[in-house]
Amino acid sequence: MKKILLLGSGELGKEFVIAAKRAGQYVIACDRYANAPAMQVADEYEVFNMLDGDALDHVVEKHFPDIIVPEIEAIRTERLFDYEKEGIQITPSARAVNFTMNRKAIRDLAAKELGLRTAKYFYAKTLEELKEHSREIGFPCVIKPLMSSSGHGQSVVKGADELEAAFNAAMEGSRGDVKEIIIEEFIHFDSEFTLLTVTQKNGPTLFCPPIGHVQKGGDYRESWQPFCIPADELKKAEEMAGKVTAALTGAGIWGVEFFLTKEGEVIFSELSPRPHDTGMVTLAHTLNLNEFELHFRAVMGLPIPAIHLEHAGASAVVLAKEEKEGEPKYNMTDVLGEDYTRLRIFGKQEQHIGRRMGVVLCYGDKDADTTPLRDKAKRLAGTVIK
């Protein structure tokens, strides 16, 4: 049995804990607030600010885990190098977590060191720098904090008169103490997709069938698997994902995001060194192993004989509709009255407008058209919170 310290206890962490507990492991779930989703299924929990390096050191010293699994961005990530030197396994690696928790590091690695095709971009710490770079990028453009999650602080800016508001939103939406933003060219893409990539300790890098997704304000709203993409473009995406994950090192699952343009060009967008929001569709039995089971096996160095598609599936998130303490009243009847349908309630104890509270999952034959599955998932997601 291994002792696993989970840093971040949201809905993705909850599913990872379930995968670990099914295999008899011991998990301590950590987050800044009590009764977070993963804490509800873990063996122990700790409540503290993970951006406080001393507090993080205290928890690590207290539990001295075999493995640390980061699930969010807001962590004092430079401390992970010290823990790694002490013999604690960091997932996927301290290097990977430090690079990918900051858009500046991962974008420079992808574009400048590895030569991957990305959107044109610049960094800015002041409004004046942003205005200067906007003249080089042009409009529309995308403005994001260097460190954030769930689309917080992200804006699409259509003209110079919107820059100040976007700058302020990016600074306010930044997580941690990184107060710098990135301005990117707006890619006129036909679609977006995620390539879940599994790096192993003792095996080849594996790729899941691509996942199509729709985001609103940079935050996941729906996803479906498989996503149809020509074989040549898929091969290019796999090559890019393979290069960047190899450069970052370590074992685990990665959510590698791409744009697909109308001309068929694949463009690298972002990377997460952990299970991905859009990969929640794998809970709809789309694969022989869902993304959390794949992550667990890779982290533990356990064999993954193959990844293959078993069903076509779609997911749609259930969103909170008001600002309120406590959980909303859930209507599960409509969803559970449908065949080939699943509902996952995350167990969040506080509501904020637009906060993800659950997900509806629909599936069918692996050769089924995903459009009706998407429509069904979205329709049912709208019935869960009245």
Active site positions, annotated: 149, 151, 257, 270, 277-278, 356
Q: In the beta sheet, which residues pair with residue 249?
A: none
**What secondary structure does DSSP assign to 25-68, as a single string?**
-EEEEEESSTT-GGGGTSSEEEES-TT-HHHHHHHHHHH--SEE
How, if at all, do strands 356-365 and 341-345 pair? antiparallel
Instruction: Specify the amino acid at residue 306.
Output: A
Degrees to nearest 5, angle at CA 72 with 305 and 292? 20
Q: Which residues of 108-141 are buried (b: 16+ CB within 10 A; e: fewer)?
A: bbbbeeeebebbebbbbeeeebbeebbeebeeeb
Do the Cβ atoms of 146 and 178 come closer than 8 Å?
yes
The dihedral built from the CA positions of residue 193, 357, 169 and 174, taken in this order, carries a sign that is negative
CB within 8 A of 73, min separation 6: which ones?
A: 101, 147, 148, 149, 175, 176
Q: Where are the alpha helices (DSSP H) in 223-332?
A: 231-248, 291-300
In 3D space, the residue among 348, 268, 251, 345 whose CA is nearest the CA of residue 303 turns out to be: 251
Tokens describing residue 66:
């075999």
Token representation of residue 352: 């904020």
Chain centroid to CA 153: how far? 16
Distance CA 198, CA 357 (A): 27
SS3 content of the chain, % helix, strand, coil (to 5): 35, 30, 35
